[in-house]
Amino acid sequence: MFLGFHCFCWVGKGMSNQKDIDILVSEVGPRDGLQSIKQTMPTDMKKMWISALSEAGVREIEVGSFVPPKLLPQMADCADLVQHALTLENVFVTALVPNLRGAESAFKSGVQKITIPVSVSEPHSLSNVRKTHEQMYSEVASIVALRNEQYPNVLIEAGLSTVFGCTIQGIVTEKESLFMANKMAALGIDEVGLADTVGYATPLQVKSLFKQLKIELGNIAGSAHFHNTRGQGLANVLAAYEVGVTTFDASQGGIGGCPYAPGASGNIVTEDLVFLLESMGLRTGIDIEKLVAAREWLKKALPNEPLYGFIPDAGVGKAFKYAKDM
């Protein structure tokens, strides 16, 4: 085990059923990765890709978002993908929902967890979900009420976006982000995740905010979601881990970005993240060779889409050992 850092115990609900791993890598490629790509990936190809990710040992997959097909045609098959993913062994199935209507559809599909995107920056909220903060509070309260009444086993995460800055608003303060996190907790959500939507975060900012979030919210504090827009993604992962974060979002091939945040490029690369964590002695439960092989479905379905990552080209090297073998 990697024992180089003194950490808080940061075990959110996403990790509570993962006794044989140290870090939960949540694959968001089928949602965050594909949402900015104009060419629609065929549903059968998505299913094969999700199955390949599962076979590689990925434990949590965000399969899509429940949004109007006319806005994001790429996400029109989300309910179908939820049903497929539920047939896979050891996969926790999640989806994004921007509003009550999307939540209703998600709950009916059988999804195990929903993430509600809540922008700390109000200008981004208006651009992304067309709601002010006050309107978003009402929407979250309605979603939580519906879950409590009819779908008590579904987890709800508030995925706070633009927590480290916004291309529209500019500076977003730690005070603003913590206020929003506490507001979501008061509304009854189960987890609060923090997202660096446009890649502004630095390791010192990450460490400070996640440390304070844990102090204020305890185990409601959840995942870290980093974009690699300015090359700081994996450095920010390490900073978050140092203060006890144990769940990280990533996208295969580094695809993705927010279509309503100008300049936002892709997520951190799942393959590179897994290599980093396993090299540090942290068990992810993921087989890197099988994970790299899963990229083939992206190449087949989206042949003109660039894929990123160092490990797929360089390999893991002869000195590499999985954490479980150390």
Catalytic sites, residue numbers: 258
* Amino acid at position 269, single letter: V
The C-alpha atoms of residue 151 and residue 144 are separated, in whole angstroms, by 10
70's CB contacts (< 8 A; 6+ apart) are: none
With 0-12 / 13-18 / 19 or more C-beta atoms within 10 angstroms meaning exposed / middle / buried, residue 163 is: buried
CB 106, CB 66: distance < 8 Å: yes
Q: How far apart are CA 20 and CA 186, in angstroms?
A: 32
Q: How far apart are CA 326 and CA 315, in angstroms?
A: 19
Q: Which residues pair with 225 in a beta bridge?
A: 195, 249
Backbone angles phi, psi at 228, to 5 degrees: -105, 30
